Homo-oligomer: A and B are copies of this chain.
């Protein structure tokens, strides 16, 4: 697992880490049960403080993405959102609205927007297939 921090983006380092782990899970690069890198070595590698990585992991735990067992490490959890469906739907609407507004600012019309959405969904499906094959190769 490779992480990449952009110190100039203005986005807090720990949130960049959170986002990258979430993306890795969504694209099956990390699957339930997989261990995350230990806090100390990762902090050294990224040249950030140990606490910054710990904060990212704590945030991921509170989001239910990972599970940490003291003295053993952090692991990807089964994806089982405990939220009510309507709440989950509302959260997704917020994300989608943001993308739609960006599309308007970028002068891309609905048809072009939908095309890109479909492309990206296909792209993620492809990545999921690839990662799953890597882990569980069919001879």
Q: How far is the CA of A12 from the CA of B4 in the complex (A)?
A: 20
* With contact pairs A11-B10, A84-B84, A125-B110 given, residues A65 and B105 touching in the complex (Cβ less than 8 Å): yes
Q: What per-residue 1/0 map shows which CB atoms of A32-66 lie under 8 Å from chain B?
A: 00000000000000000000000000010011010
List A residues 1-43 near B (Cβ within 8 Å). 2-4, 6, 9-12, 15, 19-20, 22-29
> Are the C-beta atoms of A104 and B29 separated by less than 8 Å?
yes
Q: Count of chain A residues with Cβ under 8 Å from any Cβ of B?
A: 61
Rounded to whole Å, the gap between the CB of A96 and the closest CB of chain B is 5
Tell me the nearest residue of chain B to A121, going by C-beta: B110
Rounded to whole Å, the gap between the CB of A110 and the closest CB of chain B is 5
